[in-house]
Structure 1
Amino acid sequence: MASEQAAPLLCAAITVYSPLNHFGLKESGLRGAILGLGGVGHMGVKVAKAMGHHITVISSSDKKREEALGHLGADEYLVSSDMTRMQEAADSLDYIIDTVPVFHPLEPYLSLLKVDGKLILTGVINTPLQFITPMVMLGRKTITGTFVGSMKETEEMLEFCKEKDLTSMIELVKMDYISTAFERLEKNDVRYRFVVDVAGSKLDQ
């Protein structure tokens, strides 16, 4: 595996592989969703699809529909503000991996889970999130979180990605592009990971 491909897997891929492994969600045939299609989210689609899951991408707008369905291989695309489609999808998912790193309500997504379904938080958010308890109680649902993974899981993930030929969508840049890369990150203008080629950069001694 090329170094520029292995590097982002140590963050994005393990972040989704670890909870699927830990919570017993690796078996084929499960119905899952990835909330937010960014660096972690796009690997979530790839890893879950490679496990044989039916995957829905949930996003706040329609702009990533073609990429999710056409390029990443997701099965369905759901815009969270489309109340009709959200209601149609109620009680249909075994799990949701929530990658959104900013404040957002949890109730709309809890309603999509089956009995015993899991909402797995991966986004670091400093604002308290809220939900009403019946949304969790009535379906015996779980709200949980995950942060990267263990060394053993990382080794397993790399072997899994190698076996399934999974790669991250990256943009390889040199050291002299760092400032521009940060500016583009602030504008959410990257699909989906920058990888810095330190060895190939001309560095001042």
Structure 2
Amino acid sequence: MPEVLAYACEDETTQFHRTTIEIPEPGPRDIYIDIAYAGICHSDIHTARQEWGPASYPLTPGHEIAGVVSRVGAEVTKHKVGDRVGVGCMVNSCGQCQYCTEGYEQFCSGTPGGLPGTLWTYGPDAQGNPTAGGYAQGFTVSEDFACRIPASIPFEAAAPLLCAGITTYSPLKRYGAGPGKRVAVVGMGGLGHMAVQISAAMGATTAVISHGRSKEADARRFGATEFHATSEAGTLEALAGSFDLIVCTVGADDLDYTALVRTLKPFGTFVDVGLPEHPSQIHLAALCNGNKAMAGSQIGGISETQEMLDFCAEHGLHPQVELISGEEITRAYDRVVDSQVRYRYVIDTSTF
């Protein structure tokens, strides 16, 4: 097995250190990627800090990966050496169940005697063994779970699209963001600033709902035509019945979901992608009054992820990133939690 440099943490305090990990040899239908950049997603932090359940240490996270193919298996047809590719939140599925055949590999139910379900980019594999993610200089993945990164997308900004991009593109597309629709994006961090760009590019009138106004100029630069600060009294009440679609990217436990749902028009939809750590509450009358819907969304399938990359290339969209070295990962985790990054940290693996 190839050995590569990586960064790992030993426990939930997430003090990252440089280490060496073994990467599986590519099989007949696998490719080996020299990782160039890896994004830091808040999901990495939740996982590493055991906020979503027990983690297996030492842990090398990372599911926003951009790199160059350096080896291909004998049966690989989709990629060649030298291709720029990206890997997101999952690396395999059974390929046979209803969800896989319909392009929703993230919901793979598995098959008898096959994979038990979706295989995520890091964490336990199908046999329960720990696996490493993208905070490393190399990665082996099935050719079917690597997406082509269009040449017009800046390579250093491409990695976050494999999670933040598809996480926001999928619900915006599914729930009809487009001309004649009013869309509100709640929160403008790593996810939110992509949601604003994508919504605007789809042709929707796009608003941002944020706690304060420190990001208002950025929101308008990304394509928002409205900005609303909940720290100002009466903001949500004044927006009652305003939006066709809300995409909530905030994971805060104290969010007023009832007030936000009331800003929907009749038949509007509230979609959460923020995944708060603890259970949330909503007054169901806010949904019933106006026949509104509340939904969740989890990334997207591989074909839709490629569609998102091509859409971003066509419209000149990409994340605003801050490049960091491996030694800066520990500090970056705290800064992400404190909302001090604009808007996505990306690790430059050449610093390892």
- TM-score, normalised relative to structure 1: 0.91
The separation in 2 between residues aligned to 1:150 and 1:80, in whole angstroms, is 34
Q: CA deviation at 1:62?
A: 2.2
The separation in 2 between residues aligned to 1:45 and 1:5, in whole angstroms, is 16
Q: Does 1:2 align with 2:154?
A: yes
Where does residue 19 of structure 1 map in the other structure? 171
Where 2:184 maps in the other structure, the secondary structure is strand
Q: Does 1:153 align with 2:304?
A: yes
Q: Is the 8 A contact 2:251 2:277 kept in 1?
A: no
Change (3 A) 1:183 1:26: closer
Q: Is the 8 A contact 1:32 1:54 kept in 2?
A: yes
Where does residue 230 of structure 2 map in the other structure? 80
> How many residues matched?
199
Where 1:183 maps in the other structure, the secondary structure is helix
Change (3 A) 1:85 1:151: same
Where does residue 182 of structure 1 map in the other structure? 333
Where 2:298 maps in the other structure, the secondary structure is coil
Q: Deviations over 1:103-160 (max 9, x none)?
A: 1121111111011101000111232211222211111001100111111110110000
Q: Is the 8 A contact 1:36 1:57 kept in 2?
A: yes
Q: CA deviation at 1:92?
A: 1.4
Q: Is the 8 A contact 1:174 1:196 kept in 2?
A: yes
- For residues 91-170 of structure 1, the aligned pairs below 5 Å read 91-103=241-253, 104-170=255-321
Highest Rg: 1 or 2?
2
- TM-score, normalised relative to structure 2: 0.54
Where 1:163 maps in the other structure, the secondary structure is helix
Specify the code of the residue in structure 2 equivalent to 1:57.
V
Q: CA deviation at 1:29?
A: 2.2
Q: CA deviation at 1:87?
A: 2.8
Q: Is the 8 A contact 1:171 1:195 kept in 2?
A: yes
Specify the code of the residue in structure 1 equivalent to 2:251.
P
Q: Is the 8 A contact 2:269 2:294 kept in 1?
A: yes
Where 1:55 maps in the other structure, the secondary structure is strand
Q: CA deviation at 1:83?
A: 4.2
Change (3 A) 1:183 1:168: same
Q: Is the 8 A contact 1:105 1:129 kept in 2?
A: no
Q: Deviations over 1:19-71 (max 9, x none)?
A: 12223x143221000001100000000000001111110011222222222x3
Percent identity reads 36
The separation in 2 between residues aligned to 1:165 and 1:147, in whole angstroms, is 24
Long gaps (5+) in structure 2: 1-152
Change (3 A) 1:167 1:192: same
